[in-house]
Amino acid sequence: MLTYTIEYCVIFVLLLVTAYVVPAGLFHYFFFTRCSTATEAMRIQKRRPSSQDIRREIRQSVSALLLFSAYCLIVYHAARNGATALYFEFAQRPWWWAAAGFAALVVLHDIYFYTTHRLMHLPPLFKTVHAGHHRSLTPTPWSILSFQPLETISQFGFFALVIFFVPLHPATLLAYLLFDGLVNAAGHCGHEFVAPASQQHRLLKYLNAVTHHDLHHTRFRYNFGQYFNILDRLFGTFLDRPAA
């Protein structure tokens, strides 16, 4: 029992730092602590989040990570017994496999996220699954993992699928968690730091900007994608840059 407790604590701290504190802390520092005239000009909403909002977001995010850590402990022991598709020696795969695996995670996660996110907005599910995250009408970087228990299971369920079917090195997974945290923190920072003109580029326009996800928090019915807005455009749920 002591061994499991230690393993759980190590996993929790690793996830807390990699997937939450580092990405959320960086964006909080640049846009809320070290604010300037330039960053204020990037602010999307006039309404400012309160300290009570931030404390709630942190509490919910830590709770989500406590639950996710329990899942990771199960996965860790499954991997040790060879029950997953994870591999632990880079030499087991070609040199390009790690990069390809990372790219696959980005694409697959975006599809998974759009699908589950839209489902969570259905009236029968919204209140019990997703409403907690939308209490952040003016989101902050600390809201990136602010999930209710069922949403936590849904969001992290993606990893429950890929590790059993996609050969990945644990380092690739950790790198992806950090990347995902940084992109999420950017999307919840409330400041549009990418020039609107750049977002009209024939390729870049398919990437979600901060404004797109900020609009999701205020309009609810639009912009369900994680990294890309391709599925939003295809299914008529894309909303682009009206005043928030």
Lowest mean pLDDT among 2-11, 79-88, 207-216, 235-244: 235-244
Q: How far apart (Å, rounded) are the C-alpha atoms in residues 27 and 50?
A: 17
Please give the share of the chain, as a percent, with pLDDT higher than 90.
Answer: 78
Q: What is the 3-state secondary structure (H, E, C) of 165-209?
A: HCCCCHHHHHHHHHHHHHHHHHHCCCECCCCCCHHHCCCHHHECC
Q: 3-state DSSP call for residue 83?
A: coil
Quick check: 24 and 141 in contact, CB under 8 A? yes
pLDDT tens track for 12-48 = 999 999 999 999 999 999 999 888 788 888 999 988 9
* Statement: residue 196 has pLDDT above 60: yes
pLDDT grade for 202, boundaries at 50, 70 and 90: confident
Give dist(CA 138, CA 45) in Å, integer: 7
CA atoms of 70 and 72, how far apart (whole Å): 5
Burial grade of 224 (CB within 10 A; 0-12, 13-18, 19 or more):
buried
Structure tokens at 16: 């807390």
Residue 229 lies in a domain: no
pLDDT over threshold 50, residue 153: yes
Q: How confident is the model at residue 54 (pLDDT cuts 50, 70, 90)?
A: very high
Strand locations in the chain (E): none
Indicate the average pLDDT of the chain: 92
Model pLDDT, residue 197 = 63
Range of the domain at 91: 2-194
Residue 244 has pLDDT above 60, yes or no: no
Query: What is residue 39's predicted lDDT score, i.e. its pLDDT?
Result: 83
Q: Quick one: how many helices (H) and strands (E) in the chain?
A: 10, 0
For residue 244, the surrounding DSSP H or E stretch is none
Per residue in 154-187, pLDDT tens? 998 899 889 999 999 999 999 999 999 999 999 9
Query: pLDDT tens digits for 112-132?
Result: 999 999 999 999 999 999 999
Q: What was the pLDDT predicted at 17?
A: 94
Mean pLDDT of 65-75: 94
Residue 169 CB partners (closer than 8 Å, separation 6+): 86, 87, 88, 90, 93, 98, 101
Do residues 224 and 122 make contact, with C-beta atoms less than 8 angstroms apart? no
Q: Is residue 21 part of a domain?
A: yes
Per-residue pLDDT for 84 more than 70?
yes
**Domain assignment of residue 200, yes or no:** no
DSSP structural state of residue 132:
T
Is the predicted pLDDT of residue 243 greater than 50, yes or no? no
What total of structural domains would you count in the chain?
Answer: 1
Q: Residues with Cβ < 8 Å from 20, sequence gap 6 or more?
A: 61, 62, 65, 144, 145, 181
Residue-level pLDDT at 242 = 55
Asked if residue 22 is part of any domain, the answer here is yes
Give the whole-angstrom CA distance, residue 49 versus residue 195.
24
230 vs 240, more confident: 230
In a domain, 240, yes or no: no
DSSP H or E stretch at residue 129: none
